[in-house]
Amino acid sequence: MTGMEYPDIRENIERVRAGAGGADILLATKTVDCDRIEFSVRGCGIRYIGENRVQELLEKYDRLKNLPCEIHFIGTLQKNKVKYIIDKVSLIHSVGSISLCEEIERQAAKRGVVMNVLCEVNIGEEENKSGFLPEEVPEAFEKMLGFEHVRPLGLMTMAPKCQISADYIKFFTKTYRLFIDNCVQKVDNRYKPVLSMGMSDSYRQAVQCGATMIRVGSAVFGERNYEK
């Protein structure tokens, strides 16, 4: 334990827990130092943390690997970076192409492991975002099920930025329907199906629509300078 106390983090985590219902809370820890991450895990009982950038994950890994939590990768993942994280994370949220899934399969096979993944859905059909379009999800998830060293557990989405909080509902509802129709009955019954959606500004709406995991960062750590 770091020996440090962060009362604001503790208070913020409790606030998120109150709004999360039964959904798992994943802390998005991009730009967050290891002392604050450790306090969140050891001092506040957080069980899941997620890094967005491969380089930052590698820089933090010697500290993170000793924490009693799962490390997930939640950012855009380039195929040439898969080899660096394949033995360091327990779930990759952002598998938005079959070619990326093929590379995960190749690297996992080399390590003799099975990598848990989520099929990323571009639910808003935005040109600047990665992920499968909604109509592509059934075929994509079926293909993912065919890999020997990849275990698809469900879906992940990043909804378009909405000015009105209630507007998130239509995107999350559509994602939930895809999850129910294409994933829930197909995931190995030894594993819990995962629907990862909702961030700091939308997690309450995501939980309302059936999210099993929410990804929050600024709601716990405050606004961050991503240019640092």
Helices and strands in the chain: count of H runs, count of E runs: 9, 8
Record the tokens describing residue 94, joined without a space. 């952002």
CA 62 to CA 81: how far, in whole Å? 18
**Cα–Cα distance for residue pair 167/126, rounded to 1 Å:** 16
Domains recognised in the chain with CATH numbers: 7-218 (3.20.20.10)
Nearest to 47 by CA among 22, 24, 23: 24
- The DSSP 8-state label assigned to residue 161 in this structure reads P
In tens digits, the chain (228 residues) has pLDDT values of 566 789 999 999 999 999 999 999 999 999 999 999 999 999 999 999 999 999 999 999 999 999 999 999 999 999 999 999 999 999 999 999 999 999 999 999 999 999 999 999 999 999 999 999 999 999 999 999 999 999 999 999 999 999 998 899 999 999 999 999 999 999 998 999 999 999 999 999 999 999 999 999 999 999 876 565
User: What pTM was estimated for this model as a whole?
Assistant: 0.95
Rounded Cα distance, 62 and 99, in Å = 30
